[in-house]
Structure 1
Amino acid sequence: MAPLAAPFAAADPAERIIVALDGMDPDQALAFAIGLPKLRWVKVGLELYAAGGPVVVQQLHDQGKQVFLDLKFHDIPATMAGACRSAARLGAQLITVHACAGSEALRAAQESAQESAGVAGLPAPTLLAVTVLTSWDPARFAAELKITEPLANYVPQLAQLAAQAGIGGCVCSPLEVAQLRADHPVPFHLVTPGIRPAGVALGDQQRVLTPAQAISAGSSQMVIGRPITAAPDPAAAFAACCAEVGAALA
């Protein structure tokens, strides 16, 4: 497989798009992925992983897809290290951990993932620290979690914590990617969910941009789910997103 640095310079827009297989059972996910030959990256989240377990990750990997394993590990250092050790053996190339687990847990997770992939003869995965979930809006974030720090300050603090712990990138809202890219140049990997092509309903996302806007702001890769997977013609929807990304890259 190509090294993870490739998406930063890839001329092929498909390298920049990770399609979220949320809401699918394992058979549906495998059929969907193989039905889009130009699809390079897929996201396996909690729902699909709970239904299919490690096998579905390995099956997608065997199809030639590159897997973003989005389980958002958050636990004590030893447990996070063990989880990332197992995830790396599956061949996942992007693995999420919560930045708020703290520097000790982040370092343990990073070291274990790299060691495990090396033993298995696989490319070392890139760990991505989750800063603040894109479903939070600023007012509710402050009111419910009693965190007085504005999101505009809180997200960069978590990203800096992750970078100092050796984590290779972050998951962040597209509205925060420009600031994080200014603070953390390439090869720091910025993956942005909450992407909605123009004219598509926001759903449960609050802080969103279009694919072209996200690329222009400095996103390495973007996660797009229902605008592609729930479209009447998913292949056409994927092609349209690729075209929008390609125009932004030109």
Structure 2
Amino acid sequence: MIQVVLFDVNETLGDLSCLRARLEDVGAPGHLLPTWFAGTLRDGMGLTAAGAYADFAEVADCGLRSLLTGLDGWAGDARRASAHVVSGFTDLDVHPDVPDAVHALHATGLRLATLTNGSVAVTERLLERAGLRARFETLLDVSAPRAWKPAAAAYRHAVDRLDTAPDRVLLVAVHPWDVDGARRAGLRAAWLNRDALPYPSMFEPPDHTITDLRDLPDVLTA
């Protein structure tokens, strides 16, 4: 029986789309967002694979400065521009399907927690803005294990802090690599497939697949 639902944060709970406007504010195209975010994840995971660590804000800032400097015709101040865009993580809203799902899961008696490659401070701000902070028992990030997900150390840190057996914890994430990492670390996992994409065959499969987070309470109580 699942005792804890452990949520990824960026893109799973938090909607990053508002960062497109921040990019446009500094003269960059909004469609740069997926490239920048994917590059941030790549570089953070690369550091973990090499046995090193840097926090999300630093990696995101360095990556965006490089992208902006390489844009044809862009001649702004990369340091100031990046600071403006990265600071937008503190102003994110949750996806529309999040509030109802969180309230319903909490009502079933499940413990709720988060684990992010970002920061606890950003998660706290996100949940407070949505009026959901009180529903969550614990907010965690990867700064303590100094290892980005999907490294096993990140999930072990969460399980230790939650004082729960790994197979009693269900990770919920939009990223297949996060689902795979959790499964390999002994956790259960639910893939939130909002875009109706095929699941990559090389990854460990999720225990559950949903297209709307509001479906998860019924899936878990069925």
TM-score w.r.t. the length of structure 2 is 0.28
| Higher RCO structure (Cα 8 Å, ≥6 apart) | 2
TM-score w.r.t. the length of structure 1 is 0.26
